[in-house]
Structure 1
Amino acid sequence: MTNISKQRLLSLDTLRGFDMFWIIGGDILFKALGQQTNWSWADALARNMDHATWEGFYGFDLIFPLFMFISGVAIPYALFSQLEKGVTTKALYPKILKRACILIILGMVYNGGLNFDFENLRIASVLGQIGLAYLIAALIAIHFRKCNAIVFWIIGILIGYAILQLVVPVPEYGAGILTPEGSINSYIDRMLLPGKLYGTVFDPEGLLCIVSAAAITLMGTLAGLILRSDHFTPYKKVLLFVITGLGLIIIALVLNNWYPIIKSIWTSTFNLLTGGISFVLLAIFYLIIDVWNYQKWTFFFRVIGLNSIAIYMAVAMVHFQATSDFLFSGFASFFGDFKLVILALGLIIIEWLFLYFLYKKNIFIKI
């Protein structure tokens, strides 16, 4: 069998593209299908295309942590390969810090930073959390490069974070009050985070959430270390990922009875659940694409995954939906109740063609 451990993994780009697909219109498409058909699978998907209000978990809650897991998988490929070539850890600091700073700035731009209304600007952001969690995970990873050490860091962060949320008292509320107003996350964000908070009294990308999110990024790093290792056959890697993933999911669901799964404050149980699902998804994509070499179908998703930051920012700056309405409204009117489905497909097609243009021009925005 061909040694694929150190080659670029098509499965990783495909999984990233699959993840981004739901952000750029996949959710709208399946919501429309669920509304306009009696298909049980479409209705089930449609009901999962929203975030949980507070406690609980929907499929759409996986999108963000899965992306962070994938960014963690890339750490051994992007950084460890340089260390193996003789680059010092200190020489990597500027690169890691630069990436974090750029993502923080882009996150503020995404939130409306170019309006220069800094008093009402939301400083916390999805991109900022990705950048800072990556910064924490990357610094840990380049100093502790063994799987065992990474596992200890993951466990330490998850347990330490759980202790903070469950044991440390919040003034006027007490300890273990996991509500929007009473959680330790909310209290710290109100005290220390400048600008506007997403949830008025809390922010799902707040300061403590960044620390928690570093754990799932490190889970990805652990997966990346295993993928690059020559000590396991591809099938053993798949088996390891499936066992690990299912184990994390079971632990999360058991603990959920006492320590609820809450995305908005990134409880450790949320990390365990989404990390477990991410391991299983990586196993499936890796097995099909890189081990069994079924790769032709991946092109659609790889075009998205190779320019994930570009499309994330473009969606904020370009009204793709208006273009879809302009081009496809007339055509969609022939489909009666399915008009919204056709317009959602049009939106995805236009966004994908934009990314395909970048792909053909060999333009890839990497940070």
Structure 2
Amino acid sequence: MSKQTGGRLVSLDALRGFDMFWIMSGEHIIHELAKATNWPVFRVMSAQLHHTVWNGFTFYDMIFPLFLFISGISMPYSMQKKVQLAGVGEAFELPWKDKKALYLSMLRRTLLLIILGCIVNGLLAFRGYEQTRFASVLGRIGLAWFFAGLIYLNNDVRKQLCYLVAILSGYWAMMEFIPVPGYGAGVLTMEGSFESYVDRLLLPGKLHDGIHDPEGIMSTIPAVGTALMGILTGTFLRDGKFSMREKACFLFAAGIGFVLLGLLWDTVFPINKRLWTSSFVVYTAGWSLLLLSIFYWVIDVAGFQRWAFLFIIIGTNSILIYMCAEGLVNFKYTADYIFGGAIRHLPLLWQPVLAAMSVTFVQLILLYILYRNKLFLKI
């Protein structure tokens, strides 16, 4: 844990918290409300809080790429002080000694995220190499952020865009034209895709789905594109040529454009989270930009921040609460110990709803205490 410093983009913390809220416990509240009320609005929301089986898209599929996109946005801001101290205009102009220190820091962060991801997967309860899953959400965030950062630190915006196009088109070409033994080329199924084939050959330990891993080796390549799109967005937000209102409007317009482009690409390269297809990268970037534009306009442009306080305290400790919610802390046990007796006196239909809400309440109390004491998990 470390003390927080200033200079954060408040809307970014709020959006990160909004994103993480659904993973940490928000989804369970909606699922229970759908069961208790049977209202169409909650049934629709509940259906959106499940991953698609293969091709297609739900809101739940949006959570991971949005978090990675936000991680990319943060990079130009985190590099700002180093750029100013070095007396250069852009990060790629930093002298070698400064870049070397950054590379080592980025590598340390990436390795730590990979290790933490393995711990979330159950590494501490080690049951042998073959039963250990090494691929993880946190590991992918670390790797995608690292390689996108290398591109950012060594290239101007124009070259970053070229890398982005090369990554997305190159991944599409590999998936479409490289044959898989026993299946041929362009078979985008869990069994026959080139991505799954490479994972079966090269990914150590246990695969998430036996024959495929959604955080595998090949699909991490386009995930670098997701992080890089976030970096490009962060660079734009730091640009002093445009007013904040103009930036919000541009983000919204760009979001619509990328959503449409993603849908167009979907006709030949399906939107698929498990394969992290190029169309998925573009489509989710569009929705990320739309959400960012709304949060940025309301919080940073219009100045309405109080409504987002709970999201902010989640967003400033997002990795910590993710790890805790994924099994490192039994919030349900604590919530039941504190509130279970009272909840069991209420109507049976509503007990699961209030039990889910009590878990969220306990999580928020923990996050609030950390926030008030300026304690944040820094990686």
- In the other structure, the counterpart of 2:349 is 337
Q: Which moved more, 1:235-244 or 1:201-210?
A: 235-244
Give the counterpart of 2:369 among 350, 353, 357: 357
Deviation track 1:89-115 (CA, whole Å, cap 9, x = no partner) reads 222110111110000011111111112
2:141 is aligned with what amino acid? I
Q: How does 1:38-49 map to 2 (within 5 A)?
A: 38-49=38-49
Deviation track 1:223-270 (CA, whole Å, cap 9, x = no partner) reads 100111101111221122112111111111122222111111101111
> Separation in 1 of the partners of 2:15 and 2:255?
16
Query: Which runs of 5 or more structure 2 residues have no equivalent in the other structure?
Result: 1-5, 87-93
Q: How does 1:212-251 map to 2 (within 5 A)?
A: 212-251=222-261
> Separation in 2 of the partners of 1:51 and 1:35?
19
Deviation track 1:311-344 (CA, whole Å, cap 9, x = no partner) reads 1122221111122223223322313311111011
Give the counterpart of 2:324 among 305, 314, 317: 314
The offset of 1:119, in angstroms, is 2.7
2:213 is aligned with what amino acid? D
- Runs of 4+ in structure 1 off by over 6 angstroms are none
Q: Give the percent of matched residue pairs that are identical in Structure 1 and Structure 2.
A: 42
TM-score, length of structure 1 as denominator length: 0.95
- The alignment yields a C-alpha RMSD, in angstroms, of 1.4
Q: Which moved more, 1:118-127 or 1:128-137?
A: 118-127
Q: Contact 1:71–1:217 at 8 Å: present in 2 too?
A: yes
Is 1:279 equivalent to 2:289 in the alignment? yes
> Separation in 2 of the partners of 1:239 and 1:130?
28
- In the other structure, the counterpart of 2:55 is 55
1:165 is aligned with what amino acid? M
- In the other structure, the counterpart of 1:122 is 133
Q: Contact 1:320–1:350 at 8 Å: present in 2 too?
A: yes
Q: Contact 1:252–1:272 at 8 Å: present in 2 too?
A: yes
Give the counterpart of 2:219 among 209, 232, 235: 209
Distance 1:239 1:149, change over 3 A: farther
Q: Contact 1:328–1:342 at 8 Å: present in 2 too?
A: no
Q: How does 1:250-289 map to 2 (within 5 A)?
A: 250-289=260-299
Q: Which SS does the other structure have where 1:207 is aligned?
A: coil
2:349 is aligned with what amino acid? D
> Separation in 2 of the partners of 1:230 and 1:68?
25
TM-score, length of structure 2 as denominator length: 0.92
The offset of 1:153, in angstroms, is 1.8
> Separation in 2 of the partners of 1:159 and 1:241?
23
Q: Which moved more, 1:85-94 or 1:69-78?
A: 85-94
The offset of 1:7, in angstroms, is 4.5
- In the other structure, the counterpart of 1:305 is 315
Q: Which moved more, 1:41-50 or 1:278-287?
A: 41-50
- In the other structure, the counterpart of 2:3 is none
